C-alpha cells in the first residue's frame, strides 16, 4: 500500500500539487487521470522517490519513506519513452536491474565476469528469472534482438519486463502506451490489466486518456490543476461526477452542458420531471450525456442539424427550440429525418446531472434521491 498524505509540491514559487492525499491499496489497479500539466507525473515521481514533496508525507506499507531514495523503495517505474539501452539485447535489458543489484562491477564485465568463481550461480539465477519474465510477456523469441529491431508494442513489453524482473511491491506507470497507435493501445491495455491481475501487485497508472483509465482500473483518481477532483470506481465517476469538470472529462462522448436558472422548489424549466432539492432559483449547469438523449416519440423538442454515422451508433447534432446545440446518440440503424426536420429527444430524469453554475460542484436532484 502506498499513501500520500497532504502532499504539496512547489517548483520555486509555482505550486504544482496542492494538499494531495491518496491511498493505493495492495493489489489494486489505480489510475491517475487528468489533462496534460495537471501534476500526474509529479505525483508519480514523488511516489517513486525521484522527487520530494515540499510538504506532506509518503508512506509505503505503513513506513514513512518521504526521505528514502528511489533505490531504497521497492517500486518500479515504466515510462512512456521505454528508456531501453539500444546497445543491449532484449535479454540484457530485462536482466539489467538484477545484474546491477546482484553482480559486482567486475562480475558484470562480459568476458572476465564469466570466469570469476561465484558469479556462475548468480548469473544462472538471473537468467532463469529473466526467462520467466520474458515468457510471461511473450518475448521468448526475441531475447537476442536489439531494441531497434522491435516494434513499439514489443519495446513497451521489454520496458515492462525490466520493471517486473525485480518483483517490486508496486508498479508505477507513466503514460506507458501513449507512443503506440490506437489499435495496439487497446490491445496493450488488456495485456497490462491481465498482467496486473496475474502478479497481484498494486499498479498506479498515469494517463490523460479517460477510456484507458475507465477500462483498466478498480479506482480512478481524477486530478485537475494539481488537486484531486474526485476518487472512485469508474462507475462512480461516470454516474455521479463530483464536479462539472469531471463530468466533462469522463465519458466517451462529450457531455452536453446547459446553463439555466431553476424555478421555485428547484423546478427545471427544461425538464418538468426534474426537481433539484434544496435549490431555490439557483443558477445551474445541467449535464446531459449524449447516450442518455435518444430520439424517441416523446421528449425534448428539437431540430436536426446533421448526423455522424459511426457504424454501431449515430451521433445526432440537434438544436433545442431555444437555440442551444445538443449532441444525442441513436442506434446505428436509426433512419434520420432530413436536416432541419423536427425530432424529440427522450431524457431520463435520473440520468441528468446538475451542477452549481458558480462552483461547478454537483447538486442533488430529486430524481436521484428517489432512486437512492
Which residues are at the interface with Mg ion (CB under 5 A)?
41
Nearer to ligand ADP, 196 or 207 (CB): 207
The partner in contact with residue 156, picked from Mg ion, ligand ADP, none with C-beta cut-offs of 5 to 8 angstroms by kind, is none
Cα angle at 278 between 272 and 279, to 5 degrees?
60
Answer with the entry of ligand ADP, Mg ion, none that 16 interacts with (C-beta below 5 to 8 A by kind): ligand ADP
Residues with Cβ within 8 Å of 315's Cβ and at least 6 positions away in sequence, in order, are 253, 290, 307, 308, 327, 328, 329
Least separation in angstroms between CB 124 and Mg ion? 39
Residue 36 or 297 with smaller CB distance to ligand ADP: 36
Min dist. Cβ of residue 49 to Mg ion (A): 17
The partner residues of 202 in beta bridges, in order of sequence, read 170
207's contact among Mg ion, ligand ADP, none, with CB below 5 to 8 A by partner kind, is none
Kindly state the smallest distance separating residue 9's Cβ from ligand ADP, in Å. 8
Please state, in angstroms and rounded to a whole number, the distance separating the CA atoms of residues 228 and 264.
Answer: 34
- Residue nearer to Mg ion on the CB measure, 39 or 161: 39
- Helix, strand, coil shares of the chain, percent, nearest 5, are 30, 35, 35
Q: Specify the residue, 217 or 256, whose C-beta has the smaller distance to ligand ADP.
A: 217
Asked if 173 contacts 181 with a C-beta cutoff of 8 angstroms, the reply is no
Residue with cell 510538504: 55
* Contacts for 302 with CB less than 8 Å, ≥ 6 apart: 318, 319, 320, 321, 326, 342, 343, 344, 345
Smallest gap from Cβ 36 to ligand ADP, in A, equals 4
Residue 39 interacting partner from Mg ion, ligand ADP, none (CB closer than 5 to 8 Å by kind): ligand ADP
Tell me which residue of 291, 299, 290, 286 sits closest to 365, measured CA to CA: 286
Alpha helices in the chain (DSSP H): 40-48, 90-102, 105-108, 112-115, 119-136, 152-164, 182-199, 210-216, 234-239, 244-249, 366-371
CA 36 – CA 31 distance, rounded (Å): 15
User: What is the distance between the alpha carbons of residues 1 and 97, in angstroms, rounded to a whole number?
Assistant: 23
Nearer to ligand ADP, 3 or 174 (CB): 174
Task: Name the binder of 38 from Mg ion, ligand ADP, none, CB < 5-8 A by kind.
Answer: ligand ADP
Binds 322, which of ligand ADP, Mg ion, none (CB < 5 to 8 A, cut-off by type)? none
Q: Of these partners, ligand ADP, Mg ion, none, which one is at the site of residue 196 (CB under 5 to 8 Å by kind)?
A: none
Dist. CA 347–CA 288, nearest whole Å: 8
Residue 32 C-beta: closest distance to Mg ion, Å: 10
Answer with the entry of Mg ion, ligand ADP, none that 49 interacts with (C-beta below 5 to 8 A by kind).
none
> What residue is closest to Mg ion based on CB?
41
Q: What is the DSSP letter of 242?
A: S
- Closer to Mg ion by Cβ: residue 79 or 334: 79
CB 35 → ligand ADP: shortest distance, Å? 7
Closest to ligand ADP by CB, 31 vs 256, is 31
Least distance to ligand ADP, CB of residue 212, Å: 14
- Closest approach of ligand ADP to the CB of residue 94, in Å: 26
Give residues in contact with ligand ADP (CB under 6 A).
11, 16, 34, 36-42
Amino acid at each position: 500500500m502506498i499513501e500520500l498524505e497532504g502532499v504539496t509540491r512547489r517548483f520555486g514559487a509555482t505550486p504544482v500539487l496542492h494538499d494531495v492525499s491518496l491511498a493505493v491499496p495492495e493489489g489494486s489497479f489505480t489510475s491517475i487521470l487528468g489533462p496534460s500539466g495537471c501534476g500526474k507525473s509529479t505525483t508519480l515521481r514523488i511516489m517513486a522517490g525521484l522527487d520530494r514533496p515540499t510538504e506532506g508525507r509518503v508512506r509505503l506499507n505503513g513506513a514513512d519513506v518521504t526521505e528514502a531514495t528511489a533505490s531504497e523503495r521497492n517500486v518500479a517505474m515504466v515510462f512512456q519513452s521505454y528508456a531501453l539501452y539500444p546497445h543491449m539485447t532484449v535479454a540484457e535489458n530485462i536482466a539489467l536491474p538484477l545484474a546491477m543489484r546482484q553482480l559486482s562491477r567486475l562480475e558484470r564485465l562480459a568476458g572476465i565476469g564469466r570466469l570469476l568463481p561465484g558469479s556462475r550461480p548468480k548469473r544462472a539465477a538471473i537468467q532463469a528469472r529473466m526467462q520467466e519474465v520474458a515468457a510471461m510477456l511473450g518475448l521468448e523469441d526475441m531475447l537476442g534482438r536489439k531494441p531497434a529491431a522491435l516494434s513499439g508494442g514489443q519495446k513497451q513489453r521489454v520496458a515492462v519486463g525490466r520493471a517486473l524482473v525485480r518483483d517490486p511491491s508496486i508498479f508505477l506507470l507513466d503514460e506507458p502506451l501513449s507512443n503506440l497507435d490506437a489499435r495496439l493501445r487497446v490491445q496493450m491495455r488488456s495485456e497490462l490489466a491481465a498482467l496486473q491481475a496475474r502478479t497481484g501487485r498494486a499498479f498506479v497508472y498515469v494517463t490523460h486518456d479517460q477510456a484507458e483509465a475507465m477500462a483498466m482500473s478498480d479506482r480512478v483518481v481524477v486530478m485537475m490543476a494539481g488537486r484531486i477532483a474526485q476518487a472512485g470506481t469508474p462507475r462512480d465517476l461516470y454516474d455521479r461526477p463530483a464536479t462539472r469538470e469531471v463530468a466533462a472529462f469522463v465519458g466517451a462522448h462529450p457531455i452536453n452542458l446547459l446553463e439555466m436558472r431553476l424555478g421555485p422548489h428547484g423546478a427545471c424549466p427544461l425538464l418538468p420531471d426534474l426537481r433539484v432539492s434544496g435549490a431555490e432559483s439557483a443558477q445551474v449547469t445541467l449535464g446531459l450525456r449524449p447516450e442518455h438523449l435518444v430520439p424517441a416519440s416523446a421528449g425534448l423538442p428539437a431540430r436536426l442539424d446533421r448526423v455522424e454515422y459511426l457504424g454501431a451508433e449515430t451521433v445526432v447534432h440537434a438544436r433545442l427550440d431555444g437555440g442551444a446545440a445538443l449532441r444525442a446518440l441513436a442506434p446505428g440503424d436509426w433512419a434520420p429525418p432530413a436536416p432541419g426536420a423536427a425530432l424529440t429527444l427522450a431524457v431520463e430524469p435520473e440520468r441528468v446531472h446538475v451542477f452549481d453554475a458558480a462552483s461547478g460542484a454537483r447538486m442533488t436532484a430529486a430524481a436521484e434521491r428517489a432512486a437512492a
